Chains A and B, each alone.
Chain A
Amino acid sequence: MKYVVVASFVMLSGLGASGCAPPSQSTLLRGPKLNSVQPKPTTADVPLSPDTEAWRAVAPAAEAARAFVPPPIARATLSNGIDVLLVERHDLPLVNVQVLALHGADDTPARIGSLAMAALLASHSSGQLPTLREQFESLAVTASFWSAMDSVGATLECTESNLAPALTVVGQALQHPRIDANGLSEARAQEQASFARSKESLASVQGWAVLDALYPALHPYRGVSVDRARDIQVVRETEIAQFYASHLTPHHAIISVAGDATMATLQPVLEKAFGQWRGTALQRQAPPKSARPPRADEARAFLVDRRGVAQTHIAVVAPSLPRSSPDWAAATVLNAILGGSPSSRVNHNLREEKGLTYGVGSWFSARRGGGEWTIGGAVTRDKAGLAIRELLREIGRMIDEPVRADELAAAKSGLIEGFPATFETLRSLIWMLGEAPVQELPMNQWETRAADFSNVTAVEIQRVALKYLNKDRLRIVATGDAAVVRNDLEDLQWGPVRMLEPAASSAQR
């Protein structure tokens, strides 16, 4: 700790005294005295001279990482069986709440869910009351009603003082969901506008194309890419009512709370708001099947034509893994090395060495039933072929060679030391609280996270790379000007290039 203070002081003193000039000798002399216990060479160990800037060549040593202790989770159960999870934090008078039911798009098309939840928020909960959104507005509460791949629910951002009335409003809404014509109409318009805006983003279109390439037409994880505009218009009120009946149920519901509350004061308020919630007893369905590798007779290269665009979005994609897989930690470390940061292998190669891109990376989703592993980004429009070859080469290296010890150590260190930052805001804390029940993980997963990453070895990374990123599992997806890109894709010899139009309706396909 002492060294950090000295380094900061030196830097600030130097700049303060003489702008960009080197710090004075007298300022630097303060270093060795305080830093004498540090074993590594440091700024202060460099011979002092007012004429040299050699001190800049040695990075300051970091202090030893402190062990992170995750916040404790208090648990309770309401009289109707709803589980309550609470993480207390009292430094600010804020409380976030998430009510989630463990039935999402994995058993109903996502496009119905998001429209249904948006319509609920925009409708009058009874003839006399304002719309739900207006009720939350009048409490100065930020509320969102959402439907995701593996769950559905409502999230509130409150102050401590308006928590109780906000819970009453959301409790009534979820127990007695009602929509009206105006609310549904407004939700349709908002969803259509949002979809139209997304269609203008090449990154969105590329994301939809990845889903189209990986999943069959009716797969729940194919999400919004199919017939979105048409669905928004034709979904009927009766279908939405069925969605509420099958999804908004207290069975398998979880209420997560984080912030300025205690269980002693919270539980009676939650009991009053949600304790009378009854609904059809539903078993949580088995997770959807993961995307599968392409068969020999199936296309492996896909292209979305966007004439005249300035860049080409490229991706090498593969089915990933469920969040609950024992391979998740190794896959996360692998991903960090391959493309998870600006200094990762693919970005170093394509950006720093080849100058093909402003930035590329890799990421994977891991839901109950798996997800998508994507390696790519936006590259110079006529360099897609070269860029994809380099991506494939980097993926191949992960399989063929063990990662270097320094790469492995840096990746693990980044993940372990970055983990506490996910507890920084109530919004991310709430998300973390919900992750365990939604993804069927043990509730103590926070406590083992650092050890999980720490135990990953180079051998294990090679094994996981071979398991998930071998060439037989890969597909190539590009969004760009077909006149420029198509030949490039064909030259890769990944079979015939299949054209996609992910934002079109089935009638246009």
Chain B
Amino acid sequence: MGVLAVWILERPVGLATLALPILLLLWARRPTAPLRVATGAFELWRSTNDGDPPRTASGARRVSPRTWLLAAALVAGALAVAGPRRSDPPPRVTWTLELDRSPSMYLPVAEGAARTRYDLALERALEELERLDVGPEARLWISSAGEQARGSAPPGAWGVAPIVPAPELSAGRRDRIFISDSLDPDQLSAAGGVAGGGAPVPGVVADSGGRRVLWDGAALVDGGPSPARRVRVDSGIAGELRELVELWCAERGLSVLDDGGEVALWIELPAPADERSVRVLAEGWGLRGRARVAAADGDEAWSALDGTPVAWSSGPGRLRVALTHVEAFEGGSAALALDWARWLDAHLLPASDVVSFAERQAAGAARTWSFAPPAAEAGTTQAADGVPAPAAWLSLVALALGLAAFAPLRRGRSNARSAASRA
């Protein structure tokens, strides 16, 4: 199907000339009465049937090779007349669908509802894509959290709020379809978009200084003390660093655990491995000690002079520290504390139920802005230039077959002439 689909005929009516070779073959095989020959040797012919059931002369003529060649030439000629050519492949178009994964998208569409604004917006977008007959291969999903995926729908995991809140969409590019709970038409410009809408969702809008701020739908009110948040620090991490983390936790109102439970930050020690002496030099501080040799599986924060990673992030709310002993600090300890505190702050997960006041506001009514088909990607619609059209090849084949069909005929005639002249 795929192979046939790329061929089209410029003059389909030309296929009617295929009747010519068919008629030729029918004519060549037309049934005929056997040749009647008078003979005085009739009894001899009768004797050739002895012990052998009589076979009647067949009615159909035998088609000569020359006739077959001529029929093939006519078929090739008929196809050439029809003008076959490869159809231009359909332009490759990619619909880039940018999906909002900011916290507001994971609020329920209404207070107490099971479905989220994400579900609603995505559902409308998929309907629109189906209406436009956009195939799965043409759908490129990009989330505001930075992920990409192709397929009929975004990965199911995107339906769950990211641990690290993603930024809101900035619907400015013309060649994208934006999917969110609320979109600014002025920002959309010529781009398409789906706004799923949603009712306001009251709830915690801030958590600071051990108190929570609650929006009750009309005003901001005190939400009571913040729930205890915990930081897990694996045993085995250098005691000096553990003390630093405990100081940071005390400053932030966090408690420190050795294991288990839901935590806002987990500082891990890499799996047991060889240890080596390391020296770390950072901006304004340094240290010497021992560290487990392990490959960094995330963004590296610091490494030793010999390249051994000593601290890196391995996922949202998860840090790895390979230092097991600190023999000596170098430089200013304040600079070290400041660097580490910033690093820990950057990876501390927010309370999951805290959504900003602005995001808890109503998203308005659902709305869809028309999806304009994106431009075809360059280089996907051009056929090869300089290659002779199939019709030209077919014409040549037809000519060659035609010559081959008549060549034996001329040779046969010349043979007959020479035989006659010899006689």
Chain A complexes with chain B: no
Give me the interface of A with B, judged by CB distance under 8 Å. Answer: none
